[in-house]
Amino acid sequence: VVGFMSWRMIVTGVAIWRLAEQFDLTPQLGHPDRCGGLEPVGNLCLWNALIVSIAGIHLGGWITLGLLLGPSDPYGSIAIFWTPAYSALLLVPLAYALVSFLVPVWRVHQLMAANRSEVWHHLDQLGQKIDNLQRELLDRVDGLEPDEYEKLSKSLEQMRQTYQQNTKFPVWPFNFRTYTKFILSQLIPSVGLIVGIVEPILF
């Protein structure tokens, strides 16, 4: 079972790594998922991290149980006895979860960062147009007809809205929900690692 799960994680990671080469993954501006429409790619990496997190939760849970029950409890004494070994083993699923979450999408991240640079270039040009139009309004404010002034003001407001709507451009295929799920999945292993460092001092 462990071999099958490991093989699945490796194959999934390699497939995600090659996505940027095989498909046009141009991020979509203003997509509701807040990561350019690439949330499914990020979710695949999250599932990879969740698979290996099972081992981390098991190890971290036993370490924490030892601290909660104490050496007087039979299960607590067993957990405390295995705490040094479990603490060392816990580094493996924690590190592997982080690697399986971030490394496969590194090329997707680079592609998204390149697209952000292109979008920011357009925004710089738009910002220059906004500045020019603003100065024109300031210079001609006394000589403009009401209709012309309203037309220029409306055009200026549309430019500003367009600028504001595109300033936040994602560079990772993860949104807040994905980050939250990953952090929660690593909470017990992280607590277990901290407890594994503190526990020998207490007992």
Residue the block writes with tokens 């990671």: 13
HSE (side-chain half, CA atoms, 13 Å) at 198: 11
Side chain identity at residue 65, one-letter code: L
* pLDDT value of residue 77: 83
* pLDDT value of residue 1: 65
Contact 193, 61 (CB under 8 A): no
Per-state percent for the chain, helix, strand, coil, to nearest 5: 80, 0, 20
* pLDDT value of residue 105: 92
Q: Say what the pTM is.
A: 0.79
Contact 60, 189 (CB under 8 A): yes
Report the length, in residues, of the chain.
203
**Would you write out the chain's pLDDT as a tens digit for each of its 203 residues?**
667 777 888 888 888 888 888 888 888 888 888 888 899 999 999 998 888 888 888 888 888 887 777 778 787 788 788 888 888 888 888 998 999 999 999 999 999 999 999 999 999 999 999 998 888 888 777 777 778 888 888 888 999 998 888 888 889 999 999 999 999 989 888 888 887 777 665 55
Virtual torsion, Cα 20, 22, 25, 26, nearest 10 deg: 100
Alpha-carbon gap, residue 64 to 79, rounded angstroms? 8
Q: Which H or E run includes 9? A: helix 2-17
